[in-house]
Amino acid sequence: MSKSNTTITRPTLLADFGGTNARFALLDGQGGEQGARLRCADYASPEAAVRAFLERSGIARAPQQAAFAVAAPVVGDLVTFTNLPWRFSIRGLQTALGFERLDVINDFAAIALGLPRLGLSDLRPIGDGVAEPGAPIAVLGPGSGLGVAGLVPAGTGGWTVVTGEGGHVTLAAGDDREGAVLSFLRRHGGHVSAERVLSGPGLVALYEALTALAGKIPAPITAAEITAAARTGSQPLCVEALHLFAAFLGTVAGNLALTLGARGGVYIAGGIVPQLGDLFDHTAFRHRFTDKGRQSGYVAPIPTFLITHPLPAFPGLAARLEAPEA
């Protein structure tokens, strides 16, 4: 996390609990910082992961305050993760770990809060477009699941985060080929949400659907292996799966832009797209983003960016702690 983006002056723990990894930053309030990444599957709960990190860091007592981003809806005190067998009470966790203050927010709400703090070096443009100052902003990102959030201007000159479970909207096909893929997935699992396709497991599901539609039996494969094969062009079905993935992502991102009026830009986060490099620039993402019929002219000026900041939730967590406690 860029120290220039935070004015935190108390010992503070920041943590981003995703569906696969937990990332930590320990700030001593005087400019010092320690960080680490742990695998969520290695721990029975967020509390266990936090204790393991603090023990590794050699901290004798818990920091005074903490802010956690979680890959789960945060409604009330009880938090249940979407893609992990974790469940915890915010008040109970605060007491158990001895924090004077603990803020827990959705991981994409944290990313959204941090967007105004990102610099040009933290972003890579995808296609054309110019952000309209003061207009709503949207962020989404495929990883273990699909996170979605928005940022709208507040009357005080600040920003208000809009959160929900937008990753679970029903996915629509853009052509007959996509329709065949979605029909296959629907027959083999019911409702096809955006997350069902736009995630690590979703990329595998796309490959398996394409393989089955080709009359073949899919071999076991990971999302990373599909991406690697697509980059080299060695397996046509992997190439097609990746291009379908990008096209579907463009459709969902464009839908989000229309829904929020996100003329301030749409930002892509998550662990998958940054791994694609220049290959992503040659997909149908941007075309599908702007392909909105009579409203294509509305969407076309909206810029799209890939977030390249390695810990995009942390600037937003810092911003949350700099605000008065809710």
Cα–Cα distances (Å) from 318 to 6, 18, 186, 258, 314, in that order, read 6, 18, 41, 29, 6
Whether pLDDT at 241 is above 60: yes
What residue ranges in the chain does DSSP mark as E strands?
12-17, 21-27, 33-39, 65-70, 78-80, 87-89, 101-106, 123-126, 137-142, 146-153, 159-163, 266-268, 304-307
Q: Are residues 166 and 293 in the same domain?
A: yes
CB-neighbour burial class of residue 196 (10 A; exposed 0-12, middle 13-18, buried 19+):
buried
For residues 243 and 279, give the distance between their C-alpha atoms in angstroms, rounded to a whole number.
9
- In this prediction the pTM is 0.90
What integer best gives the mean pLDDT of the chain?
A: 92
Measure CA 46 to chain center. Answer: 19
pLDDT band at 4 (very low <50, low <70, confident <90, very high): very low
pLDDT band at 29 (very low <50, low <70, confident <90, very high): low
Write down the pLDDT at residue 125.
95
Owning domain of residue 255: 119-308
Position of tokens 């993402």?
Answer: 285
Maximal C-alpha separation, the chain: 62
Q: Are residues 159 and 300 in the same domain?
A: yes
**What are the tens digits of pLDDT across the range 91-105?**
999 999 999 999 999
Q: Are residues 168 and 275 in the same domain?
A: yes
For residues 22 and 72, give the distance between their C-alpha atoms in angstroms, rounded to a whole number.
13
HSE on the CB side for 58, CA within 13 Å? 2
**What are the tens digits of pLDDT across the range 157-188?**
789 999 988 999 999 999 999 999 999 999 99
Q: Are residues 136 and 236 in the same domain?
A: yes
For residues 148 and 167, give the distance between their C-alpha atoms in angstroms, rounded to a whole number.
6
Write down the pLDDT at residue 157.
77
Write down the pLDDT at residue 322.
87
Write down the pLDDT at residue 2.
42
Q: Are residues 34 and 145 in the same domain?
A: no
Q: Are residues 49 and 94 in the same domain?
A: yes
**Rounded to the nearest 10 degrees, what angle do helices 90-97 and 46-57 cross at?**
30
Cα–Cα distances (Å) from 174 to 39, 179, 287, in that order, read 36, 7, 12
Whether pLDDT at 279 is above 70: yes
Q: Are residues 266 and 147 in the same domain?
A: yes
Give the range with max mean pLDDT: 3-17, 26-40, 78-92: 78-92
Residue partners of 130: CB distance under 8 A and separation at least 6: 301, 303
User: In this structure, what CATH number is given to the domain that contains residue 182?
Assistant: 3.40.367.20
In total, how many domains does the chain have?
A: 2
**Do 67 and 319 contact (CB within 8 A), yes or no?**
no
Query: Residue type for 193, please?
Result: S
**What are the tens digits of pLDDT across the range 116-136?**
999 999 999 999 999 999 999
Write down the pLDDT at residue 209.
98
User: In this structure, what CATH number is given to the domain that contains residue 79?
Assistant: 3.30.420.40
Q: Are residues 48 and 191 in the same domain?
A: no
Q: Are residues 209 and 291 in the same domain?
A: yes
Whether pLDDT at 3 is above 50: no
**What are the tens digits of pLDDT across the range 286-312?**
999 999 999 999 999 999 999 999 999
Q: Are residues 164 and 63 in the same domain?
A: no
Q: Are residues 18 and 94 in the same domain?
A: yes
Q: Are residues 67 and 207 in the same domain?
A: no
